[in-house]
Structure 1
Amino acid sequence: MLYDRRKSKSCSGKEKLVAVISHEKNFIFIHIPRCAGNSIEKVLEKWSKELRSASALQRQGFRPNFSERHFTLNQYADEVDISKFFSFAIVRHPLTRMRSIYKWGIEIMPKIIRGESANFKNHHTWKSKSFDEWVQSEEWMRSRQVIYKNKKGKIIPAFNKTQREWLCINNKIRIDYYGKFEDLNNSWGYICNKLNINEPLPFMHSTSNSNIDCSKKTQAIIENHFKEDYEEFNY
């Protein structure tokens, strides 16, 4: 598991989890935001302890700047021979994923960014918007390219990047397996079988988004923006 040694008040001085890879179990987990990623990371970290620091990463041949969260499969392929690993991810219905991201921004994000308001200067506008207003805002439209920059000026991947983009190399799906959030128990069972582990999946950073209203206009925007996800993953 790849950790970032940079410290911030939001992390209480602890190393920040940034990505998931294991040479012991030969797996790479692609963490798409709001697709049970934190829960999966929590389970898998026990098999990834050899890569908890920047120095450990460099000893394994990773570049010094390989330290951002939510790396795509293509970015891993620039660092390691992915054919030697079982790569997997969880995908989710685009509309419910966006609802979950919105709710996460309201409920959980303020706790994470406490003391880092300068790095998340747009968050106050996020909190003041309804889901419809948020999706239809200029901020949301722009965020496919950039959402925020961290303290060192590195761009954090946009939350509304298509899920397909995380799993592609040269515009072709190259992930070994993707499960669906809507069938998480069976998907996790398959992953456990492939990794030869028997671990329950905890629920972390979960949000309830069933009561979030969504207009037809907002739904149309999401369907158009994530068209390739609807088609690729049969949503």
Structure 2
Amino acid sequence: MIISNSWNFVFIHLHKCAGTSVEVALSKILNYNDILIGSTPEGEKQQEFFKRTIGLNKHSTAREVQKFLGAEHWEHMFSFAFVRHPLHRLYSLYNYSLKLAAPHVKSEHIGKPGILSTLPSHAPMTFNSVKAAISSKNFNEFVLNDFTWKDPGAMSQSSSLSNDKGLMIKKFYKVERMEESWNHVLARFPGAGPLERLNTSLDRAAGNDPKTLLGEEAKRKVQDAYARDFSTFEYQF
């Protein structure tokens, strides 16, 4: 999450939407009076400080940032975020969670009964998405796992960017059109760095189409959970 007083913008960092790459690139133009939480070495070090002092974190919602800034200040700033196809974003969370678990759990144990009782009680093994990933045999089971929907990374994008009146940010860009989108960002913020692929997880199997990995129940679950995302950001399931 970035609050830039020097450039008059707010960037809302959604889970698994290239936020780390965007923030690292934008960090090149930030000044002493700007706030960056997470993503860069300095931003990561300051996470606890900002959480304690101003109540904001790496993935603070638009509502939370507006509350901190005040409605008038928020309205005068250019607020934006990157969004992603809801199903592909959830699949990325699944693969990222497996990646986090890899140093702690052997692949042959994933999805076995009782696996959660063997986990160490520290991050990242306490993350709900990690619990869901390692207690599921595949992506279909991950979608149907209750732990998945308790994880902040699985919450809808619209819930992070909206209030009761609708979308709060001035502009959303799509990860699927990253080159075009980033050119727009660079036109507004010249001097920002090039985008690098950071904090990524590999899309695996099914020709990178996670829909083919789901049964009918899981498909309905995704459609219901992200109905507002599909309509707000104009994605097709």
Report if TM-score (shorter chain) is over 0.5. Answer: yes
Pick from 14, 19, 44 the counterpart of residue 37 of structure 1: 19
Following TM superposition, by how much is the alpha carbon of 1:63 offset from its aligned partner in structure 2, in angstroms?
A: 7.7
Q: Alignment partner of 1:71: what SS?
A: coil
> Any idea what SS the aligned residue of 1:79 has?
helix
Question: How much does 1:45 deviate?
Answer: 1.9
* Residue 172 of structure 1 pairs with residue 166 of structure 2: yes
Q: TM-score, normalised by structure 2?
A: 0.73
After TM superposition, where is structure 1 displaced by more than 4 Å over at least 4 residues in a row? 52-57
Amino acid at match of 1:221: K
**Which region of structure 1 is more displaced relative to structure 2, 212-221 or 79-88?**
212-221
The offset of 1:195, in angstroms, is 1.9
Identity %: 24
Q: Following the alignment from structure 2 to structure 1, what is the Cα–Cα distance between the partners of residues 148 and 177? A: 28
Question: Is residue 94 of structure 1 aligned with residue 86 of structure 2?
Answer: yes
1:100 alignment partner AA:
S
2:86·2:229 contact (CA, 8 Å) conserved in 1?
yes
Q: TM-score, normalised by structure 1?
A: 0.73
Alignment partner of 1:138 is 2:130: no
Aligned residues: 197
Q: CA RMSD in A?
A: 2.8
Displacement of 1:39 in angstroms is 0.4
State the partner residue of 1:21. 3
Contact 1:20/1:48, CA 8 A, preserved across alignment: no
Note if 1:78 corresponds to 2:86. no
Q: Does the aligned pair in 2 maintain the 1:72–1:167 contact within 8 Å?
A: yes
Please state if 1:218 is matched with 2:229. Answer: no
Aligned to 1:200: 194
Unmatched runs of 5 consecutive residues or more in structure 2: 36-42, 104-119
Larger helix fraction of residues: 2
Note if contact 2:29-2:192 (Cα within 8 Å) is conserved in structure 1: no
1:182 to 158, 163, 176: 176
Q: Which letter maps to 1:185?
A: E
